[in-house]
Structure 1
């Protein structure tokens, strides 16, 4: 097929293969010039490779430039470092982009939520640079650099301009961490001056959490360092129905990985009842990033039509539809 584009596919753990299978069915129904290159990552492949992130997988993403990824498990309090963190480091996927938008007919406390969380992906406490000083005493290092802070600030403002957004909020704790978060804010301010048409504000992280719960409509695009972004993106997902209905992307200069941001849900894995919405929405972002704008809109429209109908829901949203039934409905709506 002429101009065929390769997409690296990483199923992941738990329900990953099921939601990925559903998403690929939808993409194949579009009859796009895409070729899928399946690669491994996650806790379930450690026995095979001796690692949760095989070198071959990273190389495959570097070759294709784009990947679609299911959830991968991470052992709490031990085991190997996160495959997600490893992938972001090795591919320099410096920007995590998480749009959070209300889903038609999914009842939540707020209506018309429309937020964008931009998270710096390569440094800060979340990277997990830590060591034992003496038994009983552990030190974790929070590294913040001008380069990374400026780069993520520019990404946030440029994305806001591209999407026609009006405001960027820099999230911080510079009242306490005056040097590290202070440097992050300095970089955001400098970049913000290059975008005079976009309103700029600064919000302390704890106040942001309270304000989001009270009235999420006062925010638009929010940019923040790594650990804050991990927390706030999940909080925002809760405003629209949970992690099962929000997409995610990790974007670098040369590559991008689009992924479901929910967990592996081992309790329902293999039962055929997982909700593929998050990965489907991530594929919408992927198609748009690849320049397949019309096809991206078609999938988005099909999702909105199925949810707007209000009749078909998977178990996580109070319905009884199987993964296949939900996917069939999306394909029919195309």
Structure 2
């Protein structure tokens, strides 16, 4: 099956990460006979400055014809790019793994958590208004449909992992909205997996106290945004954290970290999160096409990254090394088989 990927290199460190990643993608294509094409388009702060739109019409036209989106980090226009794309194409499941890598300093070893975040509702709908001077109101939108849909996604992942799902909410305070989310998830999950519920403040504390307690966490949009960043840092660094935005018709893959303007152009950014996002994209291609070559390519990339981290000789400054973006990328490239 053929896949067309719309690539949004993004802002800050995004373009240099993508530039170094091209050779890795090309090698995977050659070794595993991957039938995919990459089409670069503009989006983000740079596009806003150039065209007056963070997501230009030409970019949307390319994305609409593509099967997947591979996106680098964007700057201040993230709401106009990331959130808009998620809602435009109903990419309802945000999948954020937090997994340890060798030789990355952290409080815990062998962290392996998967956060399944509802991606289209909650306060991030952006329904905000000012009813009177000095007062601002935001609407929190939760539906039974979206809650059940994300619970089913969590169920499918849990069955491939350790068969445990923790539903995180704050239904003791937000009894209507979070109460609906909690009850919908419970109806889908209870009896099918090791299921439990946990308030979001307790979940935040327990992630720090004992991350090994968790397997799959399913939660709402805002809580998932916060907890996934916390979990990634517990695993070692935001620089190693990938993510996927999954929809039935289109999916988008992106690193969790931001544009990091302070180090842009210095050639020291860590490409790991972006490369692991590529691996997640290849896994998604395998699921859609039922062709194992995409899954094998994904595994090869993950294993190559892990080998480089295990060696520990070509790591970037954010994780205690002194290597450049080019050096770690070349090392990963050399280990792909």
**2:298 matches 1:296:** yes
| CA deviation after TM superposition for structure 1 residue 62, in Å | 2.9
Q: Which residue of 1 aligns with 2:213?
A: 218
Structure 2 Cα separation of the partners of residues 266 and 208 of structure 1 = 32
TM-score w.r.t. length of structure 2: 0.93
Gap change, CA 1:307 and 1:81, over 3 Å in 2: closer
Structure 2 Cα separation of the partners of residues 46 and 22 of structure 1 = 24
| CA deviation after TM superposition for structure 1 residue 123, in Å | 0.8
Q: Which residue of 2 aligns with 1:132?
A: 130
Contact 2:105 2:319 in 1 (8 A): no
**2:173 matches 1:181:** no
Contact 2:237 2:319 in 1 (8 A): no
Q: Which residue of 2 aligns with 1:102?
A: 100
Structure 2 Cα separation of the partners of residues 332 and 83 of structure 1 = 34
SS at match of 1:331: helix
**2:176 matches 1:208:** no
Q: RMSD between aligned alpha carbons?
A: 1.3
Q: Over residues 113-139 of structure 1, what are the superposed CA-to-partner deviations in whole Å (9 max), with x where a residue is unaligned?
A: 000001011110123211111121101
SS at match of 1:290: helix
| CA deviation after TM superposition for structure 1 residue 197, in Å | 4.2
SS at match of 2:142: coil
Pick which of 102-111 and 24-33 moved more.
Answer: 24-33
Q: Which residue of 2 aligns with 1:165?
A: 162
Unaligned stretches of 5+ in structure 1?
none
Contact 1:58 1:90 in 2 (8 A): no
| CA deviation after TM superposition for structure 1 residue 83, in Å | 1.4
**2:302 matches 1:320:** no
Structure 2 Cα separation of the partners of residues 174 and 82 of structure 1 = 30
SS at match of 1:262: coil
Equivalent of 1:198, from 174, 193, 197?
193
SS at match of 2:330: helix
Which structure has the highest helix share of the two? 2
SS at match of 1:119: strand
Q: Which residue of 2 aligns with 1:118?
A: 116
Unaligned stretches of 5+ in structure 2?
287-293
Q: Over residues 57-80 of structure 1, what are the superposed CA-to-partner deviations in whole Å (9 max), with x where a residue is unaligned?
A: 2332332221111001126xxxx8
Contact 1:58 1:87 in 2 (8 A): no
